[in-house]
Amino acid sequence: MVGAILCVTGIAVDYRAPLESANVNLYCGASMLVFATVMLWLARRSRS
């Protein structure tokens, strides 16, 4: 959920940090979504 919020924020709003010009929210949000997908896959695998 946090990953999704950060991705949407990164796409919809141009928040930038003083020392960092990259879209940190989008990159971190996307990474979290990948992490969440892996965790969900592991959870499903453990139940089957």
Binding site for another protein (CB under 8 A): 1-2, 5-6, 9-10, 13, 15-20, 22, 24-25, 27-29, 31-32, 35
- Closest approach of another protein to the CB of residue 28, in Å: 5
Q: What b/e sequence results for 22-39 when a residue is b if at least 16 CB atoms lie within 10 Å of its CB, and e otherwise? A: ebebeebbbebbeeeeee
Rounded Cα–Cα distance for residues 26 and 36 (Å) = 15
- Closest approach of another protein to the CB of residue 24, in Å: 5
The token pair that represents 9 in the structure block:
């924020």
- Closest approach of another protein to the CB of residue 15, in Å: 4
